[in-house]
């Protein structure tokens, strides 16, 4: 059996406790210097970002924190200390949104609560894939996170006059919760929809435009492709596209309009041609590059996009790996693109 595979196979959690213990393990396993430096470099990169277990512990603390009847400077200071804990997290990180909502709910600032709720409602599967790694949780920590989210939704239900906000929140979360929790959340927060209810809400100007990605995700599993396309065609007007958040641009993979609407989008696509794009923006870029008109426009903006599509995508997923965020999604896509370097498994193990 291959020696390097055995080295990967035999790593225990104790040997990954610190860089020192990991280095000792690599030496004792007989790895050569190049392999050691490669593995240690990955080890460091995957520990650059804030510890997600620590962030979950703060979310749990918040979820059981008494809601102040009256606010004082001391209470504001206490609440804002939780925001400081997540300050360094990426702005697209779902856990950051949950902490933000939990703090907002304890201030009675209705506009803040609404905006924080919409941030969660408009999170995408990409955000969960690249920022949260359940493999790194113990069962206890995972249950604590689910319970903290449940308590946050209960408080939202009691504090927000508009019941549709809570229903939209739980509808989004259903996509990411393990199956054994879904029925409990649906039952508590009225998370079931009839098709007629869905049609009414997506046609509503207030709700339809505020959660385009959510309604697309729900509708695509409930009705015909033609009806989904009619929804997108109706809602993605010029005015909407001018302010469509970049995190929702993944929807262009499914619907890329022409005419005046395309002109608006082509102007905004310049954001994705920048070399300093975020990890999340790069993954959205990967979603929409399959649309030939989008790739051609980006080629005009940045010569790097003139490379064959598979090479552009490979560069994107390599950049995701190098960021140090959870690597399963990037690795999966690299293997689909034909990457065969066995050293990539170090990213998965570490």
What integer pLDDT is reported at residue 237 of this predicted model? Answer: 94
pLDDT of residue 127: 92
Q: pLDDT higher for 37 or 340?
A: 37
- pLDDT tens, 295-339? 999 999 888 899 999 999 999 999 999 999 988 999 999 999 999
pTM of the complete model = 0.90
The tens digit of pLDDT for each residue in 167-217 reads 999 999 999 898 999 999 999 999 999 999 999 999 998 999 999 999 999
Return the pLDDT at 184: 95
Cα-Cα end-to-end distance for the chain: 21
pLDDT of 13: 87
Measure the CA angle with vertex 82, ends 76 and 88; round to 5°.
Answer: 130
Percent of the chain scored above 90 by pLDDT?
69
**pLDDT at 144 exceeding the cut of 80:** yes
Q: 267-302: per-residue pLDDT in tens?
A: 998 887 676 678 888 899 999 999 999 999 999 988
Asked if residues 144 and 60 have their Cβ atoms less than 8 Å apart, the reply is yes
Q: Residues 270-275: contacts with CB within 8 Å, 24+ apart?
A: 270/301, 271/246, 272/246, 272/298, 273/298, 273/301, 273/302, 273/305, 275/302
Contacts of 219 (CB under 8 A, 6+ apart): 198, 202, 227, 228, 231
Task: Tell me the average pLDDT across 30-55.
Answer: 90
Task: Give the pLDDT band of residue 9 (cuts 50, 70, 90).
Answer: confident
Q: Does the structure show a pLDDT above 60 at 1?
A: no
pLDDT band at 52 (very low <50, low <70, confident <90, very high): confident
Where exactly are the structural domains of the chain? 1-45, 51-189, 193-235
| Whether the Cβ atoms of residue 206 and residue 214 lie closer than 8 Å to each other | no
* Residues found in the chain: 350
| CA-to-CA separations, 350 to 19, 30, 274, in angstroms, rounded | 11, 18, 30
How far apart (Å, rounded) are the C-alpha atoms in residues 26 and 36? 6
For residues 102-130, average pLDDT: 92
Q: Report residue 69's pLDDT band, with 50, 70 and 90 as the boundaries.
A: confident
Burial class (CB in 10 A: 0-12, 13-18, 19+), 172: buried
Q: How far is CA 38 from CA 5, 7, 188, 346, in A?
A: 15, 14, 49, 9
Q: What is the pLDDT at residue 250?
A: 94
Least confident of 35-44, 138-147, 201-210, 275-284: 275-284
Give 203-253 pLDDT, tens digit per residue. 998 999 999 999 999 999 899 999 999 999 999 999 999 999 888 999 999
Residue 87 has pLDDT above 80, yes or no: yes
Supply the mean pLDDT for the chain: 91
């Amino acid at each position: 059996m291959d020696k390097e595979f055995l080295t990967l196979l035999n790593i225990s959690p104790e040997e990954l406790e610190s860089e020192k213990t990991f280095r000792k393990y690599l030496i004792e396993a007989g790895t050569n210097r190049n392999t050691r430096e490669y593995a240690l470099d990955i080890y460091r990169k995957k520990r650059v970002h804030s510890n997600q277990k620590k962030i979950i512990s703060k979310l749990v603390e918040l979820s059981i924190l008494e809601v102040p009847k009256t606010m004082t400077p001391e209470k504001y200071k206490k609440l804002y200390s939780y925001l400081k804990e997540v300050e360094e997290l990426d702005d697209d990180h779902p856990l950051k949104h949950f902490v933000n909502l939990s703090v907002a709910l304890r201030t009675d600032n209705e506009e803040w609560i609404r905006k924080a709720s919409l941030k969660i409602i408009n999170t995408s599967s990409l955000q969960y894939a690249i920022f949260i790694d359940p493999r790194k949780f113990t069962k206890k920590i995972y249950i604590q996170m689910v319970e903290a989210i449940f308590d946050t939704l209960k408080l939202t239900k009691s504090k927000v006059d508009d019941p549709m906000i809570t229903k939209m929140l739980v509808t989004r979360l259903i996509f990411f919760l393990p199956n054994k929790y879904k029925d409990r959340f649906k039952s508590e927060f009225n998370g079931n929809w009839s098709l007629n209810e869905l049609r009414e809400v997506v046609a509503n100007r207030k709700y339809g435009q505020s959660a385009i990605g959510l309604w697309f995700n729900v509708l695509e599993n409930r009705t015909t492709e033609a009806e989904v396309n009619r929804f997108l065609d109706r809602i993605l007007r010029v005015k909407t596209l001018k302010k469509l958040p970049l995190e929702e641009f993944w929807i262009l993979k499914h619907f890329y309009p022409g005419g005046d609407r395309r002109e608006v989008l082509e102007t905004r696509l310049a954001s994705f041609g920048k070399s300093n794009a975020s990890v999340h923006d790069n993954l959205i870029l990967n979603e929409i590059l399959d649309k030939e008109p989008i790739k051609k426009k980006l080629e005009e903006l940045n010569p790097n996009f003139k490379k064959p599509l598979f090479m552009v995508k490979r560069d994107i997923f390599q950049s995701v790996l190098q960021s140090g965020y959870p690597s399963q999604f990037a690795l999966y896509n690299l293997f689909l693109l034909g990457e065969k370097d066995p050293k990539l498994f170090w990213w998965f193990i570490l």
